[in-house]
Amino acid sequence: MHNPEELFNAASIICDDGIDHETIRSSVTKILKAVGEDPEREGLLNTPNRVAKSYEELLAGYRIDPYKLINGAMFDVDYDEMVIVRDIEFYSLCEHHMLPFIGRAHVAYIPDKKVIGLSKIPRIVDMFARRLQVQERLTSQVACFLDEVLHPHGVAVVIEALHLCSMMRGVKKHDSRMTTSSMLGYFRKNLATRTEFLDNISRSAEPLHF
C-alpha cells in the first residue's frame, strides 16, 4: 500500500483549512447586485450562504483524503483478465464558465496481482469530478491515479458527458455530447485489448440524456 504522501501527490489534493465561505458569500452578494437584483429580497436573502455551502459539496474533491478513500481495499488476487466498471454517473463543474457537465465514466484495468475494491473506482471518479475541471483532464487523472495506485498491466478510461456551457449559452447545441479517452499500458499497445474494452462498454449502451 502506498504511503499517504504518495497518494496525496497522485490525487493533486489541496491541503488547507477548507473553502472560504465568507469570501464566497460576499462575492455572491456582489454578483447579485451587479446583475441588477436585490440581495435583500426574500428569495435571495439566504442565497449567498446556500451557494457557499453548495460549493463545499460540489468542489469536495480537492480535499478528499485518497488514503482514507482507498482504506486498504487492495487485494492480492491471481487474476490477469480485464476488470471493467461501466456507466459510473458523475457531475462536475466546467472551469471555464463554472457550469455543470454531467455524464458517465467507463473504467477498466488489467491487474498485475492486485485488484481494488469495486466501490473504490466510482469514488475515485468522484474525487476528480468534484472539482473545477475540463473533461480531458478528468479522464487523464482517473487513469493516471489508478495506474499509480495499482501498477496494473493497463488502464483504460472513457468518459462521455453533456456540457451545459454549450447547451445553455454560446453555441446552444443541446444534443451534442463529448467523449474522451485515456489508454495506458496494454490498452494503448494492444489493439485487441482496446477493442475488447470498447466493445464491452458499447454493448447495451443508451444515449446520454438529462
* Catalytic positions: 94-97, 135, 163, 165
Q: Which of 29, 101, 81 is nearest to 186 (CA)?
A: 81
CB 102 within 8 A of CB 174: no
DSSP state of 89: E
Decide the pairing of beta strands 83-94 and 132-133. parallel
| Whole-number Å distance between alpha carbons of 25 and 67 | 32
Show the cell assigned to 168: 445553455
Look at the block and give the residue holding cell 468534484.
130
